[in-house]
Structure formats: structure tokens, C-alpha cells
């Protein structure tokens, strides 16, 4: 990497000499910047599952470096033995976050390097895996910049923009996806007014998005999730930008829980609702949002995690999905690095995939 992002550290980076994946522990933000150096597959799996590294593109980058480190640690020159151990490591990492398609996408891409290398030897395969992981990260940076340019083309100076969860620099290698238009607009003096949903129960909007955008010098207002509709009614919000963890072939989009009601409110008040995601997040093999597997998180995230004392009665049942699905008819456009895709998404997503 030629330079660090605006926060002064990489969201996910490789220390090849030390055989370590280096990340910022996002569970400690905004109060502590703790850098983790992960050297085992268990540590990397835990970091993805526990949201120490999170956001679809950043998970993809972390997975690419993680599986490279697994491959580097396989001590054999026998291709078949190498493939067996590599495949086991890949399946293990892939189980950490089933909804985030970038995880499986990056691991699949790395797997193709192994499949194509039978005649070249294990040592050469490891070199190619390293090059591929670095390429995935470089492409992520360029992809986010392009999403930012496409998104910014839809905006005017002084607009009010609302975002949910964290689809910012902390979720990518640089710029973010949903925040990319905000960063580029800020650099060019657009003077946006940014509204961040708190994003319960894990508070990614409060802890991460409000943190990184305010650090960049933007005008940021934090909202509880249930306040967004009132902000729209007040006329403060001109557009909503969110990320996505998986986009189905028909345009249904899975994103952090709370996105769906936000889209409903935007529809009610005539506010454009934009999904910003790399083309790698589009899964044409998943027909609709009903086919997206939704990860269920531990009850403790709702009942006890953020409180000194338990804030719910013992034994109460908890429904804690990590994501919800926003129906395609609520989405104004899906913005990828390839452009602004409009309905019908079944056509525009397929056309973009061929471009």
C-alpha cells in the first residue's frame, strides 16, 4: 500500500515477515485504538465472527490474507496434501460469517489460484496467493473510489445524507462504500450534513461511523435508529446511503439489521434510498432476498453487552438477527464501481456483471 487511509491505519493489513494479519480491533472503538496481530486461523476466525474486523469488503481482504497465511503455514511440497489442508482452512474461515458474500467470494478467488497451480508447485502457488491477496486489497481501494464518484454524481452541495451501520473506511480498505460519496464530497467542499443511525444492538453507527466521519472533519449528527423517520419528516434528509452484505439477483439487499425499516421510511417521505456495494457483493446465484441466509447473533448482545447491569429479565426470549433484507422495490438505485444501476435490477445487475 502506498499510503494509509485517513484514519492513520489500515483496516486490515499483512505483516508477511511476521506471518500476521494486522487489524484494528473495531470492538474497542471509539475509546481505544487497539491493534491486533493475528497469527493463527482460530484468531482470524474469531476476529471475523466477533466483528473485530467487519464490513463486507474488509472481511474479504482479511479472508484473503488469512487464507494466504494458512497456505504459507502448510509444510509440504505434495500438491494433493497441500490442497486438502488448504481446503480445510478455507472451509473453516468461510464458516465465520455466512451472510457476508465477500467472505466466500475472496476465499473462492484464492482457491482458484490453488486449482490452477497443480503443474507449478506448492512454492509458486504460495507466491501467487500472496499476489492475489494484495490485488484484492488494491482493487477494493479503487472500487470504493469509483463508488464514491458515481454516488457523488447524484448529489448537490449542502445536502443532508443519512447512513446506517458502518460502511465506511473501517469496513473497507479506504473511502468506504456508503461513505465514499461523503468523503469525496467533503474533500471537494460540498458541506454535507451527515446523519448516522446508532445501529443497535452493536452500535456500529455510534461507535464507528460517527467516529470516523467526525475524525475526518464532517458535520455529523448521531441518531437512535427509531429517530430516522422523524429526521426525514423534518426535511433534514435528502438521500440515504447504506452498504450491503449481499445483493440478490433481483436487487433485494441484505444489510445490517434496521436497514429495512429505514428504506420503508425513506419511501414514505420520498427520500432516495441508495445501496452502495462492490460488484463482488452481488450474488446472481441467489434469486431473491428470501434465499439469503440470515445470521443469528447471541442474545447477550441485546440483554447485557453494553450495560453494567442486565437490562432485560432473565430467561426472556431474544430475536437477534444480524441482518435484514430490503426489498428491491424500496431501493432507488444500487451503486457499484461499474455505475449507478436502476430498476429493473434483474436486468441491470446482470448487464453490469457482463461489463
Preceding peptide of 30 cis, ω within 30°: yes
Cβ atoms of 222 and 145 within 8 Å: the answer is no
Unique residue bearing C-alpha cell 470504493 = 144
How many residues does this entry show for the chain?
355
Tell me the HSE value of 124 on the side-chain side, using a 13 A CA sphere.
8
* Cα–Cα distance for residue pair 62/174, rounded to 1 Å: 14
Cβ atoms of 24 and 34 within 8 Å: the answer is yes
* Cα–Cα distance for residue pair 44/47, rounded to 1 Å: 5
- Which of 251, 272, 273 is closest to 349 using CA atoms? 251
Chain centroid to CA 128: 25
* Cα–Cα distance for residue pair 51/166, rounded to 1 Å: 12
Q: Which three cell numbers mark 251? A: 436487487
Unique residue bearing C-alpha cell 429495512 = 260
Instruction: Fill in the DSSP letter of residue 292.
Output: S
* Cα–Cα distance for residue pair 78/160, rounded to 1 Å: 58
Residues in contact with 171: Cβ distance below 8 Å, sequence separation at least 6, in sequence order: 11, 54, 55, 56, 57, 58, 177, 208, 243
Instruction: Fill in the DSSP letter of residue 297.
Output: P
Cβ atoms of 276 and 149 within 8 Å: the answer is no
Task: Please give the positions annotated as active site.
Answer: 245
Cβ atoms of 147 and 341 within 8 Å: the answer is no
Amino acid at each position: 500500500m502506498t499510503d494509509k487511509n485517513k484514519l492513520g491505519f489500515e483496516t486490515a493489513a499483512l505483516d508477511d515477515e511476521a506471518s500476521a494479519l494486522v487489524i484494528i480491533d473495531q470492538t474497542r472503538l471509539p475509546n481505544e485504538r487497539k491493534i491486533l496481530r493475528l497469527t493463527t486461523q482460530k484468531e482470524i476466525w474469531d476476529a471475523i465472527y466477533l466483528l473485530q474486523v467487519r464490513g463486507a469488503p474488509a472481511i474479504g481482504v482479511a479472508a484473503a490474507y488469512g487464507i494466504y497465511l494458512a497456505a504459507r503455514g502448510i509444510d509440504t511440497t505434495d500438491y494433493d496434501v497441500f490442497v486438502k489442508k488448504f481446503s480445510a482452512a478455507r472451509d473453516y474461515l468461510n464458516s465465520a460469517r455466512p451472510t457476508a458474500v465477500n467472505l466466500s467470494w475472496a476465499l473462492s478467488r484464492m482457491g482458484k489460484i490453488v486449482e490452477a497451480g497443480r503443474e507449478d508447485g506448492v512454492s509458486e502457488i504460495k507466491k501467487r496467493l500472496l499476489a492475489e491477496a494484495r490485488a484484492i486489497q488494491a482493487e477494493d481501494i479503487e472500487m470504493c473510489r469509483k463508488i464514491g464518484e458515481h454516488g457523488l454524481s447524484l448529489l448537490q452541495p449542502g445536502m443532508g445524507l443519512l447512513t446506517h451501520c458502518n460502511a465506511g473506511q473501517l469496513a473497507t480498505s479506504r473511502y468506504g462504500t456508503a461513505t465514499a460519496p461523503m468523503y469525496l464530497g467533503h474533500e471537494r467542499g460540498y458541506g454535507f450534513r451527515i446523519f448516522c443511525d446508532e445501529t443497535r444492538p452493536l452500535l456500529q453507527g455510534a461507535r464507528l461511523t460517527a467516529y470516523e466521519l467526525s475524525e475526518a472533519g464532517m458535520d455529523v449528527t448521531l441518531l437512535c435508529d427509531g429517530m430516522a423517520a422523524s429526521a426525514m419528516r423534518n426535511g433534514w434528509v435528502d438521500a440515504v446511503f447504506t452498504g450491503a452484505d449481499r445483493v440478490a439477483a433481483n436487487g433485494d439487499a441484505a444489510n445490517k439489521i434496521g436497514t429495512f425499516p429505514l428504506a420503508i421510511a425513506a419511501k414514505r417521505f420520498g427520500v432516495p434510498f441508495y445501496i452502495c456495494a462492490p460488484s463482488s457483493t452481488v450474488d446472481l446465484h441467489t434469486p431473491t432476498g428470501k434465499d439469503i441466509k440470515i445470521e443469528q447473533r447471541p442474545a447477550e448482545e441485546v440483554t447485557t453487552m453494553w450495560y453494567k447491569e442486565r437490562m432485560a429479565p432473565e430467561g426472556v426470549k431474544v430475536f437477534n438477527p444480524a441482518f435484514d433484507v430490503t426489498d428491491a422495490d424500496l431501493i432507488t438505485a444500487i451503486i457499484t464501481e461499474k455505475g449507478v444501476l436502476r430498476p429493473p435490477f434483474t436486468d441491470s445487475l446482470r448487464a453490469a456483471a457482463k461489463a
